Amino acid sequence: MAGWLLVVLCGVTGLYCLVLRHRCPAAGSEAVMGLGMAAMGLPASVFTPPAWWWAGYAVVFGAEAARSAWALWGGGARGRHAHHLIGSLAMVYVALPTGAAAQAEPGTHGAHGAGGVPLLTGALLAYYAVWTLRAGARLVPAPALPTTLPAATALAAPTPATPPAMPTAPSVPAAARLAPPPSPAAAGVAACRVAMAVAMLVMLAGGHAVPGAR
């Protein structure tokens, strides 16, 4: 059941990003990631991949990693490019030992074919756990700033010789006033990244946390 939930989560996320790719250029890469993770999670009872299947994974996500590295070198959204680079390399890491195990022992599939390197697996697990918490917290909308001060904070009545002072709104930094809110498409892609990071955590913990896990 957990494996099928992983397939559904990644498949829906990939298809959603595929729909958004015309409104948000970054959605195309996320669609490749989500659909690739969904296909990787399919149980062997449903689909038994050919011997070259895992080499194809390595080629596709190796190309995605190279593209992200090139974009990272060129500047722009460095955080997003760096995260996609790590995610693409993690997909290659999951696919290669799994493919070797599938060729040696027919019937293994998904992220449960091989153990991988425990130290590298632990580093990826720590990265995705921290990234998921931070990115998930950024998705929570910030509370709206009040436009007027509460009545309890109003200034005391002045002497008759001076005009009454009017309460003023709290100052807002210029950068906060000028920063436009993210578009709905960009916010949707950001939520998809969080969902796929959670799925990657499950894949790494299920197939690579213990050497030789099935």
pLDDT digits (tens, 9 = 90+) for 71-96: 888 766 778 889 999 999 999 888 87
Which of 170, 172, 127 is CA-nearest to residue 150? 170
Determine contact, residues 16/205, Cβ cutoff 8 Å. Answer: no
| 168 assigned to some structural domain | no
What is the mean predicted confidence (pLDDT) over 171-179?
Answer: 47
Instruction: State the virtual CA torsion across 61, 207, 15, 2 in degrees, nearest 10.
Output: 180
What is the mean predicted confidence (pLDDT) over 175-197?
Answer: 73
* Cα-based distances in Å from 21 to 16, 31, 38, 75, 187: 9, 8, 18, 21, 13
Task: Please tell me the total count of domains within the chain.
Answer: 1
Determine contact, residues 74/84, Cβ cutoff 8 Å. Answer: no
| 48 assigned to some structural domain | yes
pLDDT at site 124: 93
| pLDDT higher than threshold 50 for residue 187 | yes
Q: What angle do CA 45, 48, 50 make, to 5 degrees?
A: 175
| 157 assigned to some structural domain | no
| 172 assigned to some structural domain | no
pLDDT in tens, 113-166: 445 788 999 999 999 999 999 988 887 766 655 555 455 554 555 555 555 555
| 97 assigned to some structural domain | yes
| Residue recorded with tokens 């994974």 | 57
CA atoms within 13 A on the CB side of 129: 9
pTM above 0.75, yes or no: no
pLDDT in tens, 51-74: 788 888 889 999 999 998 988 887
| 162 assigned to some structural domain | no
Q: Which helix (H) or strand (E) holds 69?
A: helix 53-74
| 8 assigned to some structural domain | yes
Q: Any long-range contacts for 167-171 (C-beta under 8 Å, 24+ apart)?
A: 170/145, 170/146
Q: Which residues contact 44 (CB under 8 A, 6 or more apart)?
A: 107, 108, 109, 110
* Cα-based distances in Å from 211 to 2, 107, 114: 20, 18, 7
Containing structural domain, residue 9: 2-140+184-207
pLDDT at site 163: 53
Q: What is the mean pLDDT of the chain?
A: 75
| 124 assigned to some structural domain | yes
Q: Which residues contact 82 (CB under 8 A, 6 or more apart)?
A: 68, 72
